[in-house]
Amino acid sequence: MRRLSYSSTQLKDLTNIEKRKMKNNRAQVTIFIILGLILVVVIVLLFLLIKRPDISLADTENPQAYIESCVNEAVEEAVEILLENGGDLEPKGSIMYDGQELTYLCYNKNYYKPCINQRPMLIEHIENEITSYIQPRVSNCFQTLKSELESRYDIETGNMQLETKLQKGKVVVNIKKDFKMTRGDDVRSFTNFKANLISGIYGLAKIAMEISNQEAHYCNFDILGFMIIYPKYDIQKFKTGDSDTIYTLKDLITNQEFKFAIRSCALPAGF
């Protein structure tokens, strides 16, 4: 077997090549580690940004912020139910359609005659329904807040008065309740609490009232003409085989939908 021999210069070159290879390998490993760390940081940031914030017990040091978060969750639940049912928590005078019980906002059981508006004050009705739904939940919010603070403060509370108002683009809840926190010389008193939930239910309810009024007068509502004037809304109506009309109103900005039923100028079967 022939034995290879290298000059000192060749050996030095070979050594330098090996060193460069090792250096390149270490550099590649370092790059992979850095990329891995960057990926982990990005995932953590995305999780924090996307994850919906929960009510933190640390927020109990700020009663207004705590109550607002807690109340908004209850209002959101109420609004979702009301939009699906036609404005009622528990529909009365309703029709089952596509697995949903929808309230008649305008109704006449007789044939040929225009409907009678069942909810002429729909906005006020929805406000009362929201108040009814959230009242016990808001009381629970205050009770939870009190329980969390009692280990650090002496807590005094009074009776609660609650009012819900639908406004353009939002639902506002005003709460009057004395809430006093005392720890030594540190005394903090609160009386007025307020919660605001972004929602399109006010605008949807106004359209529903307009539809009911026109159906009561003309047995019809021009959805195309309305959508030309108000392009932020999509309105669909479906005639059932029983002379009922199902309206679906959609706010294209919030993606909220409001569904309800109308029975106006009904025709007997076969017409």
Over the stretch 92-106, which tens digit does the pLDDT of each residue have? 889 998 888 999 999
Residue 44: which pLDDT band, with cuts at 50, 70 and 90? low
Stretch 47-66: mean pLDDT:
59
What proportions of the chain, in percent to the nearest 5, are helix, strand and coil?
45, 30, 25
The domain spans of the chain are 15-50, 61-86+120-201
Q: State yes or no: pLDDT of 40 exceeds 50.
A: yes
Tell me: the pLDDT tens digits for 115-135? 999 999 999 999 999 999 999
Residue-level pLDDT at 53: 41
Residue 80 has a pLDDT of 97
Contact 181, 63 (CB under 8 A): yes
* Bigger pLDDT: 23 vs 237: 237
pLDDT above 50 (res 140): yes
Q: What percent of the chain has pLDDT over 90?
A: 68
First to last CA, the chain: 108
Q: Is 54 helix (H, G, I), strand (E, B) or coil?
A: coil
**How far, in Å, are 73, 108, 129, 154, 249 from residue 77 at the CA level?**
6, 31, 12, 32, 19
State mean pLDDT over 28-49. Answer: 59
Per DSSP bridges, beta strands 233-239 and 186-198 are: unpaired
Given a cut of 60, whether residue 13 has pLDDT beyond it is no
Residue 146 has pLDDT above 50, yes or no: yes
Confidence of residue 54 (pLDDT cuts 50, 70, 90): very low
More confident residue, 131 or 42: 131
* pLDDT given for residue 75 in this prediction: 97
Coil, strand or helix at 120: coil
Q: pTM of this prediction?
A: 0.76
Q: 152 or 4: whose pLDDT is higher?
A: 152
- pLDDT tens figures, 194-219: 999 999 999 999 999 999 999 999 99
For residue 6, the model assigns a pLDDT of: 47
Considering only residues 51 and 88, tell me which one the structure prediction assigns the higher pLDDT. 88
Residue pair 181/187 in contact (Cβ under 8 Å)? The answer is yes
The more confident residue out of 116 and 12 is: 116
Q: What is the pLDDT of residue 268?
A: 82
Average pLDDT over all residues of the chain: 85
pLDDT of 98: 87
